[in-house]
Amino acid sequence: MASSSPLPARLISLFGGAAVLAYAIFAALQIQVLNPLATVPGSTLQEIHAAVGQTADTMGWGLMIVILLIGPLLAVVVAIFTVRGRLSAGTALMIMLALLALGTPAYFMASFPAGMTLADTFGVGGADHAPWAEILHAISLLAVVAFALVGIPRAVRAAWTPAT
């Protein structure tokens, strides 16, 4: 049985998992609250949902929840394996950064139905009208950069380490 992991690995698991969860929650808030309010200024969220309810469209809650839950669920699995000593701190960090980097494509897939519903219902473009998704995209970009900064040296060290 593997022993418990050292403190850095546990901290990476804790903070990485929290970051992935916060990303998913903020993405859901952007998709279902902030963007609809920016798309139809002067309307309340209840008025927007009432107008959507009069059409055959939906705001894509089911797809959004499924897509946005994938990252946090994977982060929990990584945290469990890391705390149990089965993943190193470096590997846990790489996986958490990868999950954050994949946030932008997940956000796009999760927000597509809601964006199209708003576009069809209110005769506007389907793209984001609220600027807050830029925060999500910036976090994903920073995660890509951090992934490269951490991953390239790890790969070079692994390539130069003689096999035993």
Name the amino acid, one letter, at 75.
Answer: A
Would the pLDDT of 46 be above 60? yes
pLDDT of res. 158: 86
Would the pLDDT of 28 be above 80? yes
The contacts of residue 151 (CB under 8 Å, 6+ apart) are 94
Return left, alpha or beta for 85; rule: phi > 0 is left, psi -120 to 50 is alpha, else beta.
Answer: left
The CB density around residue 116, as the number of other CB atoms within 10 Å, is: 14
**pLDDT-derived band of residue 61, with 50, 70 and 90 as boundaries?**
very high
CA proximity to 82, closest of 161, 159, 9: 9
Measured between alpha carbons, how far is 112 from 8 in angstroms, rounded to an integer? 38
**Residues 136-148: what's their mean pLDDT?**
98
**pLDDT-derived band of residue 3, with 50, 70 and 90 as boundaries?**
low
DSSP 3: P
Measured between alpha carbons, how far is 164 from 156 in angstroms, rounded to an integer? 17
Distances (CA, A) of 87 to 11, 20, 31, 75, 154: 13, 18, 34, 12, 15
User: What is the rounded average pLDDT for all residues in the chain?
Assistant: 94
CA proximity to 111, closest of 22, 45, 24, 47: 24
**Alpha helix (H) residue ranges in 30-132:** 35-39, 45-53, 61-83, 89-101, 103-122
Would the pLDDT of 2 be above 60? no
**pLDDT-derived band of residue 163, with 50, 70 and 90 as boundaries?**
confident
pLDDT of res. 130: 95
pLDDT of res. 1: 45
